[in-house]
Each structure stands twice: as structure tokens, then as C-alpha cells.
Chain A
Amino acid sequence: MKRLALAKLVRQVLKKDDLVVCGLGATEAAFKEAGPVGPTYFASDPMGLWPSIALGLALAQPKRRVTLLAGDGDLLMNLQVLATIASTPVKNLRIVVFHNRAYSSTGGQRLAGENRLSFATVAKGVGFDWAFESKGEDETRKRIDELLARPGPALLDVHLEDEPCPPVPPGQWSQVEERTLFMKALQNLTHEGG
């Protein structure tokens, strides 16, 4: 399965009052192409910090579903954050790992651990009750449904094809502007009763 196919599968199950924190680089490119549904916070450097940002957001917005779309290199940089997430009662946080075993946006260098790396195993080892790996569209669609049907924290580690990533242009808004737009969108949702 390609990245875009996974981004589209995730998109299909999201509602407009769901919050998404999206990792940078290839994951960002794929989810932007699939098209965000509700308020979406796109990552910037540094890598490794976005699981904790998603955790803070989920703790601040306990009535909303927060989904983190995590690149594998990004998550590998900071595995201990999974222990912190598992130690909180954050039922509304779910993680989907875009796992293609390479740093796609820097030229496809292979990750440490490569073919043996299992984020689901790591997640279970630090206390996640629900963590699975999946391959292919049919299995992944089924697992995504399960992921959203049960309380978090939960992690789905989706194995993807290794494919190149074109450079992601800087876009119209700076991070400060994106931050304001995100918070405003969240406020509007609250006012609409969503």
C-alpha cells in the first residue's frame, strides 16, 4: 500500500469535529493530498515532538477524538514518549504510523532497525492495551475501524511501500499563522456545538 492510500483510508473515517496532528515530510504531503477533514495541525521541525503535542491536545480536549499521523522516522526519534502516553488516561488519542522503513523526504535512507522494527511491539511493551501492525488496504481498513471503535491510547503500525517523497513547499501560512488558524477553527467548532 502507498502512503496516499493510507491517508485516504484515514480520511474516510474522520469527522469534521475530529482533531488531527499530522507529522511532517512524506506524511504531511500524503495527508494534504488526501485532504484534511476537521482542524488539522501540521508538524514542523523538530521531529519527535508531535506525539507529545498530540497528547497535550488530547488532554486539553477530552471530548474530541485526536488522531496522530506519525511518520516512522519521526516516531523512532523519540520512542519513550509512548510510555508517557500509555501512563495517561487519554482515551481520545489514537496513533496511525506511516511505516515505510525509510527517511523518505531526505532521500530514502533506511531507518535503524529497518525490517525488524515493530512499533506495535514497542507500544505494547510500554503499556498500550491495543497496538497492531497491518499490511495492505483490506487489513488496514479493518484495523482502522477497530482503532476508532475502542478507547485510546491505541496505535496502528501500518506497513507501506517504500516510495520517494517530492519536496514539500513551504505553503501560504507560517507556523504561527497556522497555529492561530487551528485554534480559531477549534473555537468555531466549539461555538457550533460540534
Chain B
Amino acid sequence: MILEHLKRAGIDLVASLPDQWLGELIRQCEEDPAITHVKLAREDDGVGICAGAFLGGRKAALICQNAGVLLSVNALGGIAYHHQIPFVIVAAHRGHFDDGQYYQQYKGRLCEPVLEAMGLPHYVIEGPEQLSLIVDGAREAFLKRMPVVLLLRKQALAKSK
């Protein structure tokens, strides 16, 4: 129901890069005729697309792994923060207790401290009962004129059907 929350927030343009935990959500975005779905090859292009959409009066979201948030730091600072542009990032929060790979762990260790250092609002969504934070986060983004990052645990994404 993540997509329903995004739609409730007025978002109808989604740029995504896949993650194992995001497969179902991305499939829903691709199949929903009310959503313009853009396939990224690199996550910071999604920052640009969301920013451009806001310039043109449309609300957008970037869906990616938290490693994509780390990759997008320069774009988030130079475009979204510097130009004061709001949008929502829905990121799979890899690399914590619910993850089973060595190579994911650095992402869990780095992502929140980096967002803290950037001064970007960010929230961890623990499970499906907290998904309404997506609508609240989108409103905060709009009012603050900056991106809000929602970091979703495996459990929150597992119930996206």
C-alpha cells in the first residue's frame, strides 16, 4: 500500500532504481496507469527528475536503496537543498538487523549519520503500520521546501502488496 500513500500525498511521478526489497513496489509503479514511472540508471538522476517535476508543478518521488541516497548526496546538496526543492525519497533501509549480507552493512552504518550531517529530515519506517508517515513526510517536504527521506525496513516493504 506504499503506492497508495504516495498517491494520497499527490505524487504521480516516480523515478526508481531497483533493490531486492523494492521489487513489488516498483512493479506496482510500472503497472499503474495513474503513475508516470521513470527508470533510472543512477539514483541521483532521480533527484534531478524530482526537482524538475517540482519546477513544472508536479509532485514526484524517488524510490531506491539507501546506497542510492548515499550516492545522491552531492545532488541533494547542490540541487534540492540549495534550490529549496521538496520531494520524497522512499529508500530500502539496507544493512541492519533485518539484512543478511556482509556487503549491505556499510549502508546501514552510513546512511542516517550522513543524512544527519546534511540536515535533511529523515524517518525510519519500521513496519506497515507506520506507512502513513509517507503522507506526513510529503507534507513536511513541501512545507520545508526540502526533500524528506523515508527509510523503510524490510518488514515495511514486505507488506507492500
Confirm or deny: B53 has a beta carbon within 8 angstroms of a beta carbon on chain A: yes
CB closest residue in chain A, given B58: A60
A71 at the interface (CB under 8 A from B): no
How long is the Cα–Cα vector from A80 to B39 in the complex, in angstroms?
A: 11
Contact partners of A48 in chain B: CB under 8 A: 44
Does A49 touch B at the CB level, under 8 Å?
yes
Residues of A within 8 A of B25 (CB): none
**Is A59 in contact with B36, judged by CB distance below 8 angstroms?**
yes
Which of these binds chain B: A83-91, A137-145, A147-155? A83-91
Is there an interface contact between A49 and B60, defined as CB atoms closer than 8 Å? no
Stretch at the interface among A25-33, A50-58, A159-167: A50-58
Query: What residue of chain B has the Cβ atom nearest to residue A56's Cβ?
Result: B52
Q: A49-B44, A49-B47 are in contact. Are A60 and B38 (CB under 8 A)?
A: no
| Chain A 49-84 per-residue mask, 1 if CB under 8 angstroms from chain B, else 0 | 111111111111100000000000000001011011
Majority secondary structure, A binding face: helix
CB within 8 Å for A56 and B60 given contacts A49-B78, A51-B48: yes
27-70 of chain B: CB within 8 A of chain A: 36, 38-42, 44-58, 60
- Of B41, B53, B83, which contacts A80 at CB under 8 A? B41
Tell me, yes or no, whether A175 is within 8 Å of chain B by CB. Answer: yes
Asked if A49 and B57 sit within 8 Å, CB to CB, the answer is no
Residues of A within 8 A of B85 (CB): 179
Q: Report the bound CA distance from A45 to B55 in whole Å.
A: 17
- Interface residue? B120 (CB, 8 A): no
Whole-angstrom distance between the Cβ of A164 and the nearest chain B Cβ: 25
Given the known inter-chain contacts A78-B42, A84-B45, please indicate yes or no for A56 contacting B51, CB distance below 8 A: yes
* Assembly CA distance A163 to B47 (angstroms): 32
CB-defined contacts of B57 to chain A, threshold 8 Å: 60-61, 183, 186-187
| B75 CB–A CB distance under 8 Å | yes
**Contact between chains at B52 and A58 (CB < 8 Å):** yes
Say yes or no: A59 contacts B42, CB within 8 Å. Answer: no
CB distance from B36 to the nearest CB of A (A): 6
Bound Cα distance A35, B36 (Å): 34
Pick the residue among B36, B38, B55, B60 that contacts A179 (CB under 8 A).
Answer: B55
A176 to B83, CA, bound (A): 5
B79: Cβ under 8 A from any A Cβ: yes
Determine if B49 and A55 form an interchain contact, defined as CB atoms under 8 angstroms apart.
yes
CA distance A176 to B78 in the complex (A): 11
Whether B41 contacts A57 by the Cβ 8 Å rule is no
Additional A-B contacts beyond A56-B53, A58-B52 (5; CB < 8 A): A21-B52, A46-B74, A56-B13, A78-B42, A81-B48
A-B contact pairs, 27 of them (CB 8 A): A21-B52, A46-B75, A49-B45, A49-B51, A49-B79, A51-B45, A52-B44, A52-B47, A53-B48, A55-B38, A56-B49, A56-B53, A56-B55, A56-B60, A57-B55, A59-B13, A59-B36, A59-B56, A60-B13, A81-B42, A83-B41, A84-B38, A84-B39, A175-B82, A179-B55, A179-B83, A179-B84
Residues of B participating in the A interface, judged by any CB pair closer than 8 Å: 13, 36, 38-42, 44-58, 60, 74-75, 78-79, 82-85
Residue ranges of A at the interface with B (Cβ–Cβ < 8 Å): 21, 41, 44-46, 48-61, 78, 80-81, 83-84, 87-88, 175-176, 179, 182-183, 186-187
